[in-house]
Structure 1
Amino acid sequence: MTDLETRGAARRGAPGPSGALRRAAPALLGYAAVRALGLLALALWSAARDKSAYTLLTARWDSLWYTRVAELGYGYEVRLPSGDVHSNLAFFPLLPWLERLGAAVTPLSYADTGFVVSLLASLAAAWGIFAVAEHVHDRRVGVCAVLLWAVLPVGVVQSMAYSESLFTALAAWSLYAVLTGRWVTAGALAALAGLTRPVGLAVTAAVWAAAVIAFARSRSEGGAGDAGGTPGARRVLGMLLAPLGAAGYVLWVGHRTGKGPLGYLDVQAGWRNGFDGGAAFARFVAAQFTSFPGALAGIGLIVGVALLVWLYVVCVRQRQPLPLLVYAGLVTVLALCASSYFGSKPRLLLPAFPLLFPPAVGLARLRTARSAPVVCGVAVAAAVYGAFWLNGSGPP
């Protein structure tokens, strides 16, 4: 039996869902309080500018594209004067499917359903982050990790009718399933994550990496049995399930566009999105140094990237489980090395929650009397920034 399966077997003796919810309650209540503060700040700021906070959350940028998919299906596109073609085939289908389902069975509109899905998914994501952090560290670190995820400067995206919260929830629970030896559940959730965002590749890679290591360890120990019965069957089934979501959608897009298996890349190219190894991002950073105010922004960007690299190195030094390292590493690389518009990169990094575990460990070591003011102060700052950001450029 592998290390993951041994820990998984031990966890199966833990309290059921109600007991697990009670353990996560402090994290979820803290998360809800931070998000409520952010929404209050957004409402007040928007009202002062004669804008609708609800419209900012549900009917701008990508949220409009998702609702169009839910309402009209795929095939809508916008041709720009530059010749670029923005096709809604770039948007993965799980969120629009949920919006369509919600609008069909409730009085809610597609946009309303997208907002509700985001709110519920953000709570599920917070619970999943807590579960993973508690499993790897302890309960206090789990609470701190959730609070840190909540107070990220672009945390307001977690409450928007976007797919970040839904994806993070599926990714976190898939990773938790891997860590506890529930291979079929991990594969199924990875498949759903792959139907949510292109970065679902990172979840699939995490499942596969863990499974390969588990097979190797089982062979070295003279067996290949799962904790649940048939030798290796559950692991193999989890591996087979994991890529089905993303692969299925990408292949369908290729068939629909008539451009074969790589047709989705052409769709992304119409949005000027692609993977260039970070060349576009490097040019963007370099361009900031052409003026004095821009130079300060450029220095800030370099420091931000260096901080991400340092956090990942600390994750490795703290011996995070391989699935978390693979997942966080790929999410970070795909976010930073894509040629997409820079303004979208902060929200693309939201799902990389394992990077928050090192500061969560540090925060957990402080007494509550010292950590609480820190978290509250950062929460207020994040709420104000989120309101300012969403009333301005916002997340494209």
Structure 2
Amino acid sequence: MRTMTIQEADKHFIHTYNRSVVFTKGEGMYLYDDQGKKYLDMGAGIAVSALGYSNEEFKQALKDQIDDLIHISNLYYTKPAIKAAELICNVSGMDRVFFTNSGAEAIEGAIKLARKYAFNKNPQSKGEVIAMDHSFHGRTMGALSVTGTKHYREAFEPLIGGVSFATYNDLESVKALVTDETCAILLETLQGEGGIHPATPEFIKGLRTLCDEKDIALIFDEIQCGMGRTGKMYTYQHYGVTPDILTTAKALGCGVPVGAFAATEKYAVAMVPGDHGTTYGGNPLATAAICEVFHQYDKLHILDHVNEIAPYLTEKLETLAEAHPDKVKEVRGLGLMQGMELTIPAGDVVAKALQAGVVLISAGTNIIRFVPPLIVEKEHIDKMINVLDDVLSE
């Protein structure tokens, strides 16, 4: 039965989401709704809540920062921002950071930085960008312009110009689009919304060589697949390749809205005062969250845990697929970012799992996306698999 809370919300929200449950609190791997029902969360707020819910030290760090200072403009320095920037640079191999409020804003900044670098070389540059088919980079106009799924873009055109789309994992399709005006090649190192497709080593390394030869910015979008989700702090570190510009968000703040784009010195110095800005980005509360997230990752050995538990998730998903060959086409992914491609609508499976007390999310129309909190244990995976087995057996 729909509660009055949902009925009131539907009167006042712009209807861009098909919501169904009112969640009121979380603890560990579990969420609780306004009726007291308990749910196992295997979606982590779309790969955000890497530490699960109600981590006491994380909460205390935020409370302490609130007592000191929540916001001051970027006309001044703050200690949390200085420390957070250092931490990101240390784990990513980048040299400089700009903090944003979200992943989409990080993409916007990354595109601007690549275009400014090209402009500095040639003020007549058209700043063309090559992105990937089936990619997803966000909903703002710039991020939407480089999102390689037509139905997301078409109602909002004209978008920013100079963008073309290559085939993911097809290096020759990228080379065919490169011109003297190309300033950046942008991609997710592991596609999320587009269906959970990992990049091949040949593709990533080939892009790095191509960008070096042509002096083109290589931009890796690690907003969803970064922050330890695949067993490295950033997925590109599996390939032994470093981008020129990196975007990061989601688990960076574990629920506190914060993102960043970072760059090597060569590109970072292209921007000067007046080129870019933000009111809230990198404020003391947001960057205090980043600092504590990194502290918790070290304390809880999150990367070690992901590398230990991820093979179990993969094994269980593959066993489930073998048990339902008429319903499951393929399981693919890296680490704790896995996808299960179905022959039936994923939305139906997700809805039935929710009724059974397991929170899952989809990617597209027929893929279930598994992006649990990085503290997930075998017992949680087993519970989810049992529910999915029941749902797929119906």
Structure 1 length as normaliser, TM-score? Answer: 0.29
Structure with the higher fraction of residues in strand conformation: 2
Structure with the higher fraction of residues in helix conformation: 1
